[in-house]
């Protein structure tokens, strides 16, 4: 029993901060879905209050949403032990995620029907300044209570308010600095960069879900969460079957899947009319997205999202990804070709601030933050993610575009990484027990890229060098130093092995014209 008002019947799902139950309301006998916030043990008082406040805000926001394709809020309150709960109408159906997993791609007309209903529900929320922020197949229920199946949108728990919302003055901003909410595989790039979510962010997520309905395959996939984030932040367009890309519907989705949020500015009413007017007869799509999307055994390594209720995290896994071709190019242009590139190996280093030592959960959170910073900074200097192994991140420069300034870009990225992590550590709450720094190393050399991955000793040597660098320092091989002397200040670290120029290593101090350890703003 729950508060003598509900009889708990079964558990429907469980996530990082909440559990959803199926229950029966005793007063009316109707079935309800009850979400109870939990899992706050180990969080500081400030974090606990933020999560509780976000949960309470969900019920207030949902109380303002009245639409036939949005699940209705019934009740809310606080349990005897201080946990908060909300009760929604129970929807007798299945999630869109389960429907696609069991049956594959939907017929184009069926996909359009469900997604137009979802879009109309979003339009209702956007009209009062509410952004869903976590739209994905798991948050869309498909019900068959009438002559055809219909869609209902769930879980506005991660919703935020746009700046001009009529409710803005009534609700505090509850997302902490640099906190990324939502599910990376469906999040707009600006959300992953920590910027404010807007209605155009929801449209990006909506277009990804629509594309998945048409193909039966998740458009953005990877072996680790970091790979997924890198794809979302990268310059390449979301892969789309050629038959769809050439169709009016595909052109609409491509516009909504732009990495630039300004390109997605469109009124929901106009968008509904455009999609409704598309002639879908004869639109034949393959069951899987071609081009760069991965298939096969990799799918079993993806982070599970079936039961999530809040923010996703994932432990990194071992893996070396083959280089992704520039849009419009094909892999044979890169395969079996030997060319020079530079590897930047970043080894994240945690130091306890007090005699209390490390906190396991906090340490894992710090390492994941460091991994994300490495990916973001590397991308800003034209780098490619090679692999992530625990506290070590490997980035490649000059691999895809064969940039002749690959070593310089890698050096700029290494200097910026150290400064950015120092800035983040300086802004960390006082109660944090660890400080985060990075040991970095650079090595340049030839590599052969083909379907099997990368061949050559460059990543191995870079990884070995990073273990010798103290926190906050950048160790450079002689091969890379030759490419950096004109633009950077280098200091001889030592010689290893027989005396020769190739056995020397150097400390990267700063860019020419900057004092050592002075922040280098901007790029090359």
* 120 has catalytic annotation: no
The answer to whether the CB of 411 falls within 8 A of the CB of 481 is no
Three-state SS sequence of 30-66:
CEEEEEEECCCCCCCHHHHHHHHHHHHHHHHHHHHCC
Beta strand 140-143 pairing with 93-95:
antiparallel
Beta strand 434-450 pairing with 474-477:
parallel
| Alpha-carbon radius of gyration of the chain | 25
Q: Quote the DSSP letter at residue 70.
A: B
Cα separation, 288 vs 219, in Å, equals 9
Determine the 3-state secondary structure of 68 from DSSP. Answer: coil
Determine the 3-state secondary structure of 491 from DSSP. Answer: strand
* Cα distances (angstroms) measured from residue 6 to each of 2, 87, 145, 399, 512: 5, 10, 24, 59, 69
Cross-strand pairs, 421: none
Q: Quote the DSSP letter at residue 486.
A: T
Residues ≥6 apart with Cβ < 8 Å to 476: 411, 441, 442, 443, 465, 484, 490, 505, 506, 507, 508
Of 134, 202, 403, 479, the catalytic one is 134
Give 3-state DSSP helix, strand, coil % of the chain, rounded to 5: 35, 25, 40
Q: Quote the DSSP letter at residue 206.
A: H
Helix (H) or strand (E) holding 26: none
Best CA proximity match to 478, nearest among 495, 466, 463, 464: 495
Instruction: Count CB-CB contacts under 10 A for residue 460.
Output: 12
**Where in the sequence numbering do the catalytic residues fall?**
134
């Amino acid at each position: 029993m729950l508060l003598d008002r509900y009889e708990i019947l079964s558990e429907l799902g469980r996530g990082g901060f909440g559990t959803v139950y199926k229950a029966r309301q005793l007063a009316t006998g109707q079935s309800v879905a009850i979400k109870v916030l939990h899992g706050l043990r180990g969080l500081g008082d400030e974090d606990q209050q933020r999560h509780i406040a976000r949960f309470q805000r969900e019920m207030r926001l949902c109380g303002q949403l009245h639409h036939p394709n949005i699940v209705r809020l019934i009740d809310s309150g606080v349990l005897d032990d201080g946990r908060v709960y909300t009760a929604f109408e129970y929807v007798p159906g299945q999630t869109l995620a389960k429907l696609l997993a069991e049956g594959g791609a939907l017929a184009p007309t069926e996909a359009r029907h469900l997604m137009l209903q979802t879009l109309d529900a979003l339009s209702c929320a956007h009209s009062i300044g509410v952004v869903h922020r976590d739209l994905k197949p798991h948050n869309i229920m498909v019900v068959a209570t009438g002559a055809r199946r219909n869609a209902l949108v769930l879980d506005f728990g991660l919703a935020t308010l746009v700046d001009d919302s009529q409710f803005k003055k009534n609700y505090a901003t509850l997302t902490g600095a640099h906190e990324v909410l939502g599910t990376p595989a469906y999040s707009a790039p600006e959300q992953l960069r920590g910027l404010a979510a807007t209605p155009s962010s929801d449209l990006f997520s909506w277009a990804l879900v629509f594309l998945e309905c048409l193909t039966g395959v998740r458009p953005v996939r990877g072996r680790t969460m970091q790979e997924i984030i890198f794809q979302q932040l990268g310059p390449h367009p979301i892969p789309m079957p050629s038959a769809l890309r050439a169709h009016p519907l595909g052109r609409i989705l491509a516009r909504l899947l732009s990495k630039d949020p300004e390109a997605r500015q469109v009124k929901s009413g106009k968008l509904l009319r455009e999609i409704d007017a598309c002639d879908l007869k004869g639109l034949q799509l393959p069951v899987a997205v071609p081009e760069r999307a991965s298939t096969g055994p990799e799918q079993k390594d993806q982070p599970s999202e079936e039961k999530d209720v809040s923010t996703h995290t994932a432990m990194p896994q071992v893996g070396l990804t083959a280089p992704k071709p520039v849009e419009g190019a094909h892999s044979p242009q890169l395969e079996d070709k030997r060319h020079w590139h530079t590897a930047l190996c970043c080894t994240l280093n945690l130091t306890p601030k007090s005699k209390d030592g490390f906190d396991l959960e906090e340490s894992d959170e710090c390492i994941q933050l460091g991994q994300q910073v490495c990916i973001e900074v590397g991308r800003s200097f034209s780098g490619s993610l090679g692999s992530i192994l625990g506290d070590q991140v490997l980035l490649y420069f000059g691999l895809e575009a064969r940039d002749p300034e690959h070593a310089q870009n890698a050096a700029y990225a290494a200097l910026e990484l150290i400064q950015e992590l120092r800035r983040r550590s300086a802004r960390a709450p006082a109660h944090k027990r660890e400080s985060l720094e990075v040991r970095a190393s650079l090595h340049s050399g030839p590599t052969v890229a083909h379907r099997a991955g990368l061949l050559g000793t460059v990543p191995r040597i870079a990884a070995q060098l990073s273990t010798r660098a103290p926190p906050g320092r950048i160790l450079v091989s002689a091969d890379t130093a030759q490419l950096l002397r004109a633009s950077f200040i280098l200091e001889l670290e030592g010689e290893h092995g027989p005396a020769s120029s190739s056995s020397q290593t150097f400390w990267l101090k700063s860019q020419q014209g900057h004092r050592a350890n002075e922040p280098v703003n901007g790029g090359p």
